[in-house]
Amino acid sequence: MNLKRSLVVVSVLAVSLPVVAGDINNIQALSQPNFAVTATKLKNSDVLQKAGAGDHSTLPVPSLRLHKGLPLDLDVGVMVGAVPGTNVRLYGGELRYAIVSGGVAKPAIGIRGSYTKLTGVDQLDFNTRGVDLSISKGFLMFTPYAGIGKVWASSTPNGIPALSKESLSLNKVFVGANLNFGLTNLAFEGDRTGKATSYGVKLGFRF
């Protein structure tokens, strides 16, 4: 596998996972496992093919996530994801804080910090760190949301003397909507991180 091509594929995967923001109005006191699928549009599909994941112009990345509301308007989450047809796995965590809890007349505003670690590529250590600010407003069972943020990606080659550590700083914007059905919810999101555009769908369960 060409490492430089692998870096491109890995970069797209790691920084394009959607926030799939929960409804800040009512998630604080709840535990919520959910299953999410992200589809990232690739400009160069031949890169993906040479990386061993087949010939696709859009790359699906299924993931399993768990969120838990904590006191003091905090919310913690963990996730695990995989790239079908490869050994690539993604593990991550996040911490969110509700700056404004929201209500009938005002929107909810939250800030989030996240970390993602990639495994399955022996020649590369890769991770991302991110921070974003989001706003949401509930209307009965429908909650639209949007946000902006920043993602920092770091790649360190292992055993490749000709390559050195690289760091990227990418801008991030996202919009989405959450549909609340009581014990379950369905969310749709569009995300633009750097030059990578992703679309996500999440099915969540509250308890």
Q: What is the 3 state secondary structure string of 106-172?
A: CCEEEEEEEEEEEECCCCEEEEEEEEEEEEECCECCEEEEEEEEEEEEEEEECCCCCCCCEEEEEEE
For residue 126, is pLDDT > 70?
A: yes
Q: What is the pLDDT of residues 71-124, one digit of tens each?
A: 988 999 898 888 777 788 889 999 999 999 888 788 999 999 999 998 887 888
Q: Which residue has the tokens 């799939």?
A: 20
Higher per-residue confidence, 205 vs 116? 116
The Cα 12–Cα 67 span in angstroms is: 24
Domain ranges for the chain: 3-205
- Note the CATH number of domain 3-205: 2.40.160.20
Residues 109, 137: contact at Cβ < 8 Å?
no
The Cα 156–Cα 158 span in angstroms is: 7
Task: Please report how many Cα atoms fall inside a 13 Å half-sphere around the Cα of residue 79, on the Cβ side.
Answer: 30
* 9 dihedral zone (left: phi>0; alpha: psi -120 to 50; beta): alpha
What is the rounded radius of gyration, in angstroms, for the C-alpha atoms of the chain? 17
| Angle of CA points 61, 65, 71, to nearest 5° | 150
Record the pTM.
Answer: 0.76
Question: Which backbone phi and psi does 19 adopt, to 5 degrees?
Answer: -70, -40
Is the CA virtual torsion 51, 57, 59, 60 positive or negative? negative
What average pLDDT score do residues 29-54 get?
Answer: 48
Residue 116's beta-bridge partner residues? 92, 128
Collapse the DSSP code of 14 into the 3-class scheme (helix H, G, I; strand E, B; otherwise coil) and give the result: helix
DSSP assignment letter at 176: E
Higher per-residue confidence, 56 vs 156? 156
Q: What is the pLDDT of residues 28-38, one digit of tens each?
A: 333 455 555 55
